Structure 1
């Protein structure tokens, strides 16, 4: 308990020092802050509403679009990464070389180049919107990184686990599904969370292909109102909050996976 209080005290002290430096810097810069003009872009008071306020365009449009792009891209990245990792480890020569070539090519290209390239050269007959292209490219780009994360997690499964699965009469597919992948997922969770946070931040690049996500909406409003600091500082806080929420969810998932693993181990020993 004392250790927890000590950590909390030093965290509060650190954030208080940072806040003091920011406030002193803002007061000494001579900048005329106009938060009352920026506030309606985030939310406006509405006593008749259930929550007492209405969301402004930055939250109602930009943030919702960012969340939608991030969630869809993350799902696609996880699927892409898992498929590429399995192909590299369990596929034939053709599939291994295909997976290796895809990972190396995508990882060594700038995300902005990929976005612009796909946006410019995707066939018009596909009728893909700019948002769909952003989700597709982000999912492929982040999936190439997650493929290496999954591959490392699978290679980290002890050889004895595979041998035990074979001795129990499990088929190769059952060994992958019931033995290797659950352990690899638990080991790969921390780097996957880090990559997911990068995905949320990389979603801001979707603005270059005219996707009205949070950063593009912020840039337009800041240019129109000449309120760069009042707009961008809260937006930076929103991105930080999203990253912290992801980390918190991942921590709960990691604890849940660990408890499930301990329960299965205890059950196996009892048998």
Structure 2
């Protein structure tokens, strides 16, 4: 009976919070003295036939955002696993170096890292803005992946490893059949959250003139003077991309849970 009462209470509180937010949004828009016109965004989404047709600047910028974000995710994940392994070793020099690396990139703003990569490191090694951007996102992402990897392994139940050794499994078989499936399932939620955050942080690439989605939105606002319409539409594009990433992560999590139960 108490559980049923709590369920009703939680449902009521959820409905109240949603209704309150909806009321605040509707009231805000109702009192906004502004004439909306989303039609000006048409050529930025899809070029008219008179201009040859094809994706407009927004879709071109979206593609660059997705491309650079996923490059950062891939390279960052690889580096993160490497540094995560170093964080779990007993070798003091490697562990200390990995810890310093993780602390530097986790505890400094990604915007500052981008400035350093583009204006200092990029100048010294003649790096393009795109390379400096992917490098920054990869290093930033790898620090979080390393800490997620370390935390997952630290909380892994050691008794399962001892049981696997007792069954005669080799270290490689233990890693592949015992540790990897469970560790990956536990790592997925924070990893997906970090990947979604990285996609949103890619908007900072606009400060180094990379023509990604946010930069193209800034250009459109300069020409059309329609900032509300532009940024609402840009927010929608980010929402769609991150929702797809989050949904795919939940799908993988369910598949892993099912495979572990079999």
TM-score grouping bracket, smaller chain normalisation? 0.7 to 0.9
Counterparts in 2 of 1:93-172, with a 5 A limit? 93-122=92-121, 126-172=125-171
SS of the equivalent of 1:122 reads helix
SS of the equivalent of 2:256 reads helix
CA contact (8 A) 1:42 1:55 kept: yes
Rounded Cα–Cα distance in structure 2 between residues aligned with 1:89 and 1:101 = 14
Deviation at 1:117, TM superposition (A): 0.5
Deviation at 1:14, TM superposition (A): 4.7
TM-score by length of structure 1 reads: 0.82
Rounded Cα–Cα distance in structure 1 between residues aligned with 2:90 and 2:209 = 39
- Structure 1 residue runs of 5 or longer lacking an equivalent are 264-271
- Structure 2 residue runs of 5 or longer lacking an equivalent are 1-6
SS of the equivalent of 1:180 reads helix
Residue-pair matches, total: 248
SS of the equivalent of 2:88 reads helix
The answer for the alignment partner of 2:226 in structure 1 is 227
CA contact (8 A) 2:38 2:229 kept: yes
Deviation at 1:38, TM superposition (A): 1.9
The answer for the alignment partner of 1:56 in structure 2 is 56
CA deviations 1:93-137 (Å, max 9, x no partner) are: 221111111111111111111111011122557443211211111
Change (3 A) 1:129 1:86: same
CA contact (8 A) 1:154 1:181 kept: no
**Does 2:90 correspond to 1:87?**
no
Rounded Cα–Cα distance in structure 1 between residues aligned with 2:247 and 2:181 = 20
TM-score by length of structure 2 reads: 0.84
SS of the equivalent of 1:252 reads helix
CA deviations 1:232-265 (Å, max 9, x no partner) are: 10101111111211111011101111121122xx
SS of the equivalent of 1:29 reads coil
Deviation at 1:175, TM superposition (A): 3.0
